[in-house]
């Protein structure tokens, strides 16, 4: 069974060109590629935009698109819940937030943002698929904690991982994850990058799968909506 995926750091639905919150630009982009399952980063929950998104940005997008959704809080910014979201054309059977441990040592005045991982089960035509979505920290000790937590949470098969890892292709932390998961960017025709969207030079965003899942294609299309470009792929699930 073929399944289209998208991971997208939305910068809380801010339009990169206008620097204003713009839900229409996000929904138009998603409709263009029509992914079955979407991982979103930098999403606000209730309270950030009471007028236009009273139930939170994930709920707003899901309502406009006709998707199921789950919002996973990572932290609070400006006293508002903030984190990641899952949007799915298929029912979400269950979902939870896995907290990424805070670095034990604070280095000088370095600021660490609280991070987390969404772990959800999506019912894809009676084939339960485990979905992980996260946004890793900027600093090496944050990233080490994030990679270790992700790896410890993975089942043996039938899973996908999506999100902004804040590392590029050659980061050494990725090698540990590749022992359990396959990187869909191997199907790019050439190296492609996601940030910044108008002239990208680094690939922060990833879609990985368990080794029992096949990838048909992957791409980072030239779309300037958020400060990140979206990352899309098509995978083939094994029938149960």
The tens digit of pLDDT for each residue in 125-171 reads 999 999 999 999 998 889 999 999 999 999 999 999 999 999 999 99
Q: Which domains does the chain have, with CATH numbers?
A: 2-236 (3.60.10.10)
> Structure tokens of 28?
């138009």
Chain CA centroid to CA 19, Å: 21
Task: Give yes or no for residue 85 having a pLDDT over 90.
Answer: yes
**Between 102 and 28, whose confidence is greater?**
28
pTM: 0.96
Question: Is residue 214 predicted with pLDDT exceeding 60?
Answer: yes
CA–CA separation, 208 vs 90, rounded Å? 19
Mean pLDDT score, 188-216: 97
The label of the residue with tokens 């902004």 reads 164
**Lowest mean pLDDT across 4-18, 56-70, 111-125:** 111-125
pLDDT tens, 35-63?
Answer: 999 999 999 999 999 999 999 999 999 99
Q: Does 106 have pLDDT greater than 60? A: no
To 10 degrees, the CA torsion angle through 22, 25, 27, 29? -150
pLDDT of amino acid 111: 60
Among 154, 114, 104, 105, smallest CA distance to 130 is for 154
Give the closest residue to 100 by CA, choosing from 76, 75, 125, 69: 75
C-beta atoms surrounding 102 within 10 Å? 14
User: Given CA atoms 197, 199, 204, 209 in this order, what sign does their dihedral have?
Assistant: positive
Confidence (pLDDT) at 176? 94
List pLDDT tens digits, range 13-25: 999 999 999 999 9
In order, the DSSP letters of 18-29 are T-SB-HHHHHHH
Contact present, 45 and 77 (Cβ < 8 Å): no
Bridge partners of residue 202, in order along the sequence:
195
Q: CA-to-CA distance for 66 and 85, rounded, in angstroms?
A: 15
């Amino acid at each position: 069974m073929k399944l289209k995926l998208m991971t997208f750091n939305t910068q809380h639905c801010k339009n990169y060109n206008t620097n204003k919150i713009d839900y229409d630009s996000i929904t138009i982009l998603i409709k263009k590629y029509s992914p079955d399952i979407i991982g979103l980063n930098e999403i606000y929950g209730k309270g950030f935009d009471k007028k236009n998104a009273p139930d939170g940005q994930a709920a707003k997008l899901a309502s406009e698109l006709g998707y199921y959704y789950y919002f996973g809080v990572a932290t609070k910014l400006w006293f508002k819940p903030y984190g990641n979201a899952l949007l799915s054309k298929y029912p979400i059977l269950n979902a939870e937030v896995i907290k990424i441990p805070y670095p034990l040592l604070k280095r000088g005045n370095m600021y660490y943002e609280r991070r987390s991982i969404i772990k959800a089960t999506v019912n894809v035509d009676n084939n339960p698929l485990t979905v992980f979505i996260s946004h890793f920290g900027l600093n090496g000790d944050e990233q080490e904690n994030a990679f270790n937590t992700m790896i410890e949470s993975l089942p043996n098969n039938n899973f996908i991982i999506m999100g902004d890892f804040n590392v590029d292709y050659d980061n050494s932390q990725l090698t540990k994850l590749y022992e359990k998961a396959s990187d869909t960017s191997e199907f790019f025709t050439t190296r492609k990058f996601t940030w910044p969207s108008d002239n990208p030079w680094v690939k922060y965003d990833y879609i990985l799968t368990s080794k029992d899942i096949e990838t048909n294609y992957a791409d980072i299309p030239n779309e300037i909506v958020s400060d990140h470009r979206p990352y899309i792929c098509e995978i083939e699930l094994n029938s149960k």
